[in-house]
Each structure stands twice: as structure tokens, then as C-alpha cells.
Amino acid sequence: MKIVSYNVNGIRAAFNKGLAEWLSKENPDLVCFQELKAQEDQIDLITLKSLGYEYCYFHPAEKKGYSGVGIITKIQPDFVKIGMGIEKYDKEGRVIRVDYGNVTIICVYIPSGTTGGLRQVFKMEFLADFSEYIQELRKERKEILICGDYNICHKPIDINHPEKHLTSSGFLPEEREWFDQFVGTGMVDTFREYDQSGEKYTWWSYRAGAKPKNLGWRIDYHMISSEARERVKSATIHNEVCYSDHCPISIEADI
């Protein structure tokens, strides 16, 4: 199965910029979208179904034009669950889960704390609650793939000029410590299994087409539980794709 994760920063805008053509060419089996910024009735389901995505699941935020996640797939899942079961996160459209056999795939959009203050507190609360949610789920579902925008650069290699960002949300010590602990529970960064080189980013603050300088952040991940790591055969960052301030990431996995 080819699985793509993509923060589209507005799915309607991404479609207007050529996202459908890229999906047709790349032909993933399943796509996890973050930051839909749209209600379900505003999403072009006709185009998605014409591309073969017969099964489409969306979790928009209550607030219009904000947040939201979605999973589109050509293969019918065995089970679908919308939300984490925690109202303050679910009202923002942060999590969708689908199951295929023994494998659970989760699409997540972790909150940004870039406005500081209460939103940074909210982000740290989400991280703690999301970890607990995953650990509880792993008691029953050992093989879990978590695709999405984590809004955290885990290590200095994942960000441009790390010394300049030590006090920036997304690279704060407490956020990176959470990531260390998350990896310590047996979650594997699939991209780093294949590529340990620097300047491999997924988000650029100024990105609108061609990027003049590679001053980005790697904040989008496919994290997989150690029990399922052998299923992943490749991991790719598609940094040539410019339909958002992020670029898509993909893996090939035996699912």
C-alpha cells in the first residue's frame, strides 16, 4: 500500500493549485490530509471518487475555515473511528483512525503553539493526552502507523539553523523531550530509517511555489510502532510538490 500524508493548508486551495493532478500521477492507495480548512460539503468528492477514492472520511473542525483532518482511500477499511473521544480536541478535528486487518492507521494534526500562551499550553496538553491515547490503543492494536503534521522538529538535523530556533514553538526543549519519550515507547520515524541526511524538510514559512532557500522544518512524519516497522519498504519526502506551505510525504508498506 502506498500511503501519503499531506498538510494541504486548505484542501480547496490545494485542489485549485493542481493537487488532483498530482494524486492521479502519484496514485497513492490512501491519503491522510491535515488542515482541511473546509466542511465536508465543501470538499470535491466527485473529483476524489473519479480518482478512485471511493472511501472518504473527514473530521472537520467546528470552527469554519480551521484545522480538520481527512482520510481518502481506494481500499475499504475494516473499521473507522472519528476523533479521539476528548471533546476539546475533537471539536478542532484532530484525529481519524482506520483499520486494515492487524494494522491501524491514524491521521493526526497536532496543534501549533506558534501564537504562544494558551495555545502552547493546549499543544502540550494534546501531546500528553495523545500519547496516552496511543498507549491505550497499543494494548489492543500492536501495529500502528501514525501519519500527520506533528508541528515538532525532533532533532537539530530536522530544522534549518537549529541554534536560531531554540525558543521557537516546534523546537522547544519540552516538545523535543515529548518526541524522545514517544520514540522511547517503540514508535519509529520511518523517514530516518532510510535517510539520515540534513536539509530534508516538509514545511517552509514562505513557500509559495519555488523556494529560494532551503530554510525549512521537518514536522510531518509517518511514525510506526516497532511491531510493524518491517512492513515499511520505503519513505519519501516529495519536496518538489508545492500546493501548500508543506509538501507531501509517502511510504510504501505491506498492508
CA–CA separation, 38 and 62 (whole Å): 10
Annotated binding-site ranges for Mg(2+): 7, 35, 149, 151, 245-246
For the beta sheet containing 232-237, the strands, ordered from the edge strand earlier in sequence to the opposite edge, are: 55-59, 69-73, 30-34, 2-7, 249-253, 232-237
Q: Between vectors from CA 151 to CA 148 and to CA 155, what angle results, nearest 5°?
A: 105
Q: What is the rounded CA–CA span in Å between residue 128 and residue 123?
A: 9
CA distance 99 to 143: 10
Q: Residues 53, 57, 100, 109: which is the catalytic one?
A: 109
> 59 catalytic, yes or no?
no
Is 246 known to be catalytic? yes
Antiparallel, parallel or unpaired: β 232-237 and 220-225: unpaired
241 DSSP assignment: -
In whole angstroms, give the CA distance from residue 7 to residue 142: 26
Reduced to 3 states (helix: H, G, I; strand: E, B; else coil), residue 209 is coil
Kindly tell me the burial class for residue 157, based on how many C-beta atoms sit within 10 Å of its own C-beta (0-12, 13-18, 19 or more). middle
- Exactly one of 149, 158, 189, 220 is catalytic; name it: 149
- Catalytic annotation on 149? yes
| Radius of gyration of the chain, Cα coordinates, nearest whole angstrom | 17
Place of cell 536560531: 164
User: Cα–Cα distance between 113 and 32 in angstroms, integer?
Assistant: 22
- Binding-site residue numbers are 7, 35, 149, 151, 245-246
The residues annotated with a catalytic role in the active site are 109, 149, 246
